[in-house]
Amino acid sequence: MADLTEARIADYIAGRLEGASEVEVTALRRITGGASRETYRLRLSYLDAKGERIERPLIIRRDPPASLIDTERDIEFAAYRAFHGSAVPVPEMLWLERSDALDRPFFIAEEITGFESSPTALLSPPFADKAEKLGERKWTILGEISRADPHALGLDQVMEVPAPDACWKRELGYWEGEIDKDQIEPQPIIRAAIRWLRANPPPPAQKISVVHGDYRTGNFLYDREGDIHGILDWEMAHLGDPLEDLGWGLNRIWCWGGDDRRGGLLPREQAIAIWERASGLKADPAALHWWELFNCVKGQGIWVSSAKAWMDGENRDPILIFSAWRMLNAQDRAALELMGKL
Amino acid sequence: MTPDTRSIVTDLAARMGMQFAPDLKSPYLAGSAGLTAAVLMMVAQEGDRTAHRLVEENRAIRAILKQAPDVAAPADLAARLKTLAAGEDADLHISALQAANNALRDALTGLHAHVEGQTSAAAKSLEAAIWSELAASTGRRAFSNMGF
């Protein structure tokens, strides 16, 4: 298998830019954070049909040999495209390629440059005093995602549309299956959570929404003024109960600062109030509790699969073993806390 | 020489994270080196305590399984619990302790499912003991400076 090189990428892009010449790719660098896909940064330069020099920073997201989650790149690509230009800031998607032109399927997108994404950078200057403003933006944007009409966005054409009373069963079944398939050690705490969730199902979804699937601090680009410029990592996007996304963002494992602020930004109740205002939806406390506990199962499904991929040698990227080892126990503690047993 | 593996690994992790990683030109390699340093820090903590926490936990679970006859489990589960409760950790290799721990936690899961929802005093007492042990198990596995 040939290396991923600037020349190979330039050849690929040249075939897709009508009337372009002198297509050149430089500054190709793999970057961290792509646990679900290999992520590369590059700079594209070409002359357009009018002879004008165009320069663009781009991102390539390529399927890895194995990853944290088995996802559909087509769906991720469609979700980004659906929200581009809306109140939900996302980078522009350019090309989706399912062939082996670059050895494995990939897509190419605009890079939104000059912003921070690290959740731990929020803990110190110059970002620490912008946590409240960032929290307001974060849960407002999630409200916009929840409020959006999947049909109007065309996403019901590429994503399965569940019945409102079937969302919980589909999601719980999927993630329980992932744990069954990949667990290396028994998971007595999460098994107890699964039994409770099955015995106490939530009410039907109040609407079928776009669910980002991994909406948390660390998956958006922010600046020093407390504004958000890009919502990233849509690889687990699907249609379902909007409370699923809210519950994931409230998960205690994302309390990076060591205190109770959710996502390291805002108290739980404040985050919920912002989401309700922006989405026009209600977060029924009992239903939200169900989805928060469900998200502990989902989280454990991700960490268990990550550990398995690393242990089996399918993918030895250190992000897999670091996140799995660190998060498995934190996720158990989060589940115990929600069940009143910690 | 008996090497102090915790000190050795901690020092290597610090060098990897604070000296080597910042000088790497590739952002991916620098990030990977930083993550590797973080994993090594966890290895240093875990290496020193693994045998202790497994022996402690196996002992605690066996004590719970010994109470199983009080709650009339199905015959196959009862037989399994009885066998496991009578075990002991003669082999102190971590791989052997972990294998025993896996069998014990799997059986604990089965016992937990069995007593849930039962109303007898014995069942309620056993369920409370199981929850208490599960909470303690997360304390044994926790890492310092890791947020929640």
pLDDT at B117: 86
Which of B20, B41, B112, B138 would best serve as a mutation to test chain A binding (most A beta carbons within 10 A)?
B138
Question: What is this structure's pTM?
Answer: 0.94
Interface residue A29 vs chain B (CB under 8 A): yes
Architecture, CATH, for domain A125-338: Alpha-Beta Complex (3.90)
CA dist., res. A26 & res. A6, Å (int): 6
- When the pLDDT of each residue in chain A is averaged and rounded to a whole number, the result is 94
Mean pLDDT, residues B29-35: 91
Tens-digit pLDDT profile for residues A154-202: 999 999 999 999 999 999 999 999 999 999 999 999 999 999 999 999 9
CA dist., res. B5 & res. B9, Å (int): 6
* pLDDT band (50, 70, 90) for residue A31: confident
pLDDT at A100: 86
Q: What is the ipTM of this complex?
A: 0.94
pLDDT at A231: 98
Mean pLDDT, residues A297-326: 93
Q: Answer whether B147 sits within 8 Å of A258, measured CB to CB.
A: yes
Same fold, A6-110 and A125-338: no
Q: Answer whether A192 sits within 8 Å of B143, measured CB to CB.
A: no
CB atoms near residue B25 (< 10 Å): 7
Total residues found in chain A within this entry: 342
Q: Answer whether B35 sits within 8 Å of A256, measured CB to CB.
A: no
CB atoms near residue A201 (< 10 Å): 13
CA dist., res. A245 & res. A236, Å (int): 11
Mean pLDDT, residues B56-65: 98
- Our CA-based measurement puts residue A195 at a distance from the nearest CA of chain B, in whole angstroms, of 8
Residue A37 has pLDDT above 90, yes or no: no
Q: How large a percentage of chain A has pLDDT more than 70? A: 96
Q: Where are the domains of chain A?
A: 6-110, 125-338
Q: Answer whether B105 sits within 8 Å of A186, measured CB to CB.
A: yes
Tens-digit pLDDT profile for residues B80-122: 999 999 999 999 999 999 999 999 999 999 999 999 989 999 9
Cis? peptide before A150, omega within 30° of 0: no
Residue A300 has pLDDT above 60, yes or no: yes
Residue type, B15: R
Q: Answer whether A336 sits within 8 Å of B27, measured CB to CB.
A: no
Tens-digit pLDDT profile for residues A212-262: 999 999 999 999 999 999 999 999 999 999 999 999 999 999 998 889 999
Contact assessment for residue A83 and residue A53, using Cβ atoms and an 8 Å cutoff? no
pLDDT at A45: 98
Q: Which residue of A has its CA nearest to B38?
A: A322
The backbone torsions φ and ψ at residue A208, rounded to the nearest 5 degrees and listed phi first, read -90, 120
CA dist., res. A282 & res. A285, Å (int): 9
Considering only the beta carbons, identify the residue of A255, A318, A332 that sits closest to B147: A255
- Our CA-based measurement puts residue B114 at a distance from the nearest CA of chain A, in whole angstroms, of 11
Contact list in A for residue B21 (CB cut-off 8 A) is none
pLDDT at A65: 67
Closest CA to B124 of B76, B61, B78, B67: B67
pLDDT at A71: 57
Q: Tell me, what DSSP letter sits at residue A205? A: P
Interface residue B79 vs chain A (CB under 8 A): no
Beta bridge partners of A109: A59, A93
CATH (residue range A6-110): 3.30.200.20
Q: Answer whether B134 sits within 8 Å of A192, measured CB to CB.
A: yes
pLDDT at B2: 79
Contact assessment for residue A152 and residue A275, using Cβ atoms and an 8 Å cutoff? no
